[in-house]
């Protein structure tokens, strides 16, 4: 019909997500769903109707759903229609719509109408799209000019080592045995969703995984070969932070680009690949800076007095073993801690 409504306030629909428009925004009365925008003056019919989204210029069509109340579209009685396609499917295709069979889990009322306002609902398939992450990064300590040495491969922890401060990562990544001899160490991979690098602070984190880094710089899943996989929706742009237990953390200087379902980024090609050039160049390759034994983001006195001096002359999987050769000795102090003294991480807090 000819009814129209001007959305008079800002309503943000996140990429591959949704916003809820309704006639009642009072959660105490509407069944406890969050209404992003309350409208009035018209209502949608149960039979044939259409919803057409027009741009502010008054004529550019953004999207539409034209349902017919049967025979092609569902004709619900006491329920709503729900979209069962993926975020990439056409929501104006009747084959992707069905009658809802459940009430959303957050509903707190006693009415029996089925539907899912305000959530994806159990009938729907609007799950975040999965994507891969193909990263390359070098650690200064074990870097040998072309790749990285794997001396700690046989003694490294079988569970991710980032559950302690300052990382406090609660992930349960672990292996029964180290999958292959090319693995150098564990790293922590953090994803941030922001409009630009400077605004990609800690509050923009959307996902984190512990991973392995191989001698060629590849960051892999804990099987030691696959690219990392995330089930997340990126609303703005994706920036990636890499942490290591005794190297300064780095963040990508540029937003990653998605191609074929995989985001790819090579930190090793130039120090400018890290935000604020937070790496150093060794043999024409960019490497993460060694010396941060406590992981708190600065190569400082504590890294020497508390960590190196305590462990000097010992062997093991230790934070003060800066070159990852299984032994804490003068090489760690003189070749890495001292040259990098006072260096700090460039990752935005």
Q: What is the mean pLDDT of residues 48-56?
A: 78
Banded model confidence at residue 103, pLDDT cuts 50, 70, 90: low
Cβ contacts of residue 336 below 8 Å, gap of 6+?
A: 140, 141, 290, 291, 322, 323
Nearest to 248 by CA among 272, 214, 279: 279
16-26 residue pLDDT tens: 556 778 888 88
Task: Round to whole Å and give the CA distance between 275 and 252.
Answer: 5
CB atoms within 10 A of CB 55: 9
What's the confidence (pLDDT) of residue 53? 82
Q: Which of 18-22, 162-166, 322-326 has the lowest mean pLDDT?
A: 18-22
Please tell me which residue, 163 or 8, carries the higher pLDDT value. Answer: 163
Return the SS3 of 332: helix
Please tell me which residue, 179 or 72, carries the higher pLDDT value. Answer: 179
Q: What is the mean pLDDT of residues 179-184?
A: 98
What's the confidence (pLDDT) of residue 32? 66
State how far the alpha carbon of 296 is from the alpha carbons of 44, 186, 210, 281, in Å: 56, 17, 18, 22
Q: Which of 42-46, 82-86, 116-120, 189-193 has the lowest mean pLDDT?
A: 116-120
Banded model confidence at residue 127, pLDDT cuts 50, 70, 90: very low
Banded model confidence at residue 331, pLDDT cuts 50, 70, 90: very high
CB atoms within 10 A of CB 78: 11
138-152 residue pLDDT tens: 999 999 999 999 999
Percent of the chain, pLDDT > 90?
60
What's the confidence (pLDDT) of residue 17? 58
Nearest to 251 by CA among 153, 117, 137, 339: 137
Q: What is the mean pLDDT of residues 208-222?
A: 98
Strand ranges, E, within 280-330 = 280-282, 285-287
């Amino acid at each position: 019909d000819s009814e129209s409504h001007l959305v008079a306030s800002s309503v943000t629909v996140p990429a591959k997500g949704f916003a809820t428009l309704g006639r009642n925004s009072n959660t105490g009365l509407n069944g406890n769903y969050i209404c992003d925008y309350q409208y009035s003056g018209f209502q949608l019919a149960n039979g044939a109707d259409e919803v057409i989204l027009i741009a502010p210029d008054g004529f550019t069509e953004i999207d539409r759903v034209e349902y017919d109340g049967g025979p092609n579209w569902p004709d619900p009685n006491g329920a709503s229609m729900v979209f069962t396609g993926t975020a990439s499917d056409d929501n104006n295709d009747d084959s992707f719509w069905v009658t809802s069979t459940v009430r959303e889990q957050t509903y707190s009322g006693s009415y029996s109408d089925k539907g899912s306002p305000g959530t994806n609902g159990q009938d729907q398939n609007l799950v975040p799209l999965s994507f891969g992450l193909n990263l390359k990064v070098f650690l200064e300590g074990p870097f040998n000019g072309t790749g990285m040495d794997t001396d700690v491969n046989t003694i490294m922890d079988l569970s991710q080592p980032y559950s302690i401060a300052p990382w406090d990562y609660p992930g349960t990544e672990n292996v029964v045995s180290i999958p292959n001899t090319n693995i150098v160490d564990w790293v922590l991979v953090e994803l941030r969703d922001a409009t630009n690098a400077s605004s990609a602070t800690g509050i923009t984190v959307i996902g984190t995984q512990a991973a392995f880094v191989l001698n060629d710089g590849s960051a892999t899943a804990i099987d030691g070969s696959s690219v990392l996989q995330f089930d997340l929706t990126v609303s703005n742009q994706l920036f990636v932070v890499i942490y290591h237990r005794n190297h300064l953390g780095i963040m990508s200087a540029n937003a990653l680009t998605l191609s074929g379902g995989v985001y790819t980024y090579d930190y090793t090609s130039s120090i400018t690949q890290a935000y604020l050039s937070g790496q150093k160049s060794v043999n024409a390759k960019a490497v993460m800076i060694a010396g941060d034994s406590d992981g708190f983001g600065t190569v400082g006195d504590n890294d020497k007095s508390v960590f190196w001096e305590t462990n000097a002359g010992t062997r093991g999987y230790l934070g003060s073993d800066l070159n990852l050769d299984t032994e804490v000795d003068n090489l760690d102090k003189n070749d890495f801690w001292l040259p990098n003294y006072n260096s700090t991480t460039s990752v935005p807090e």
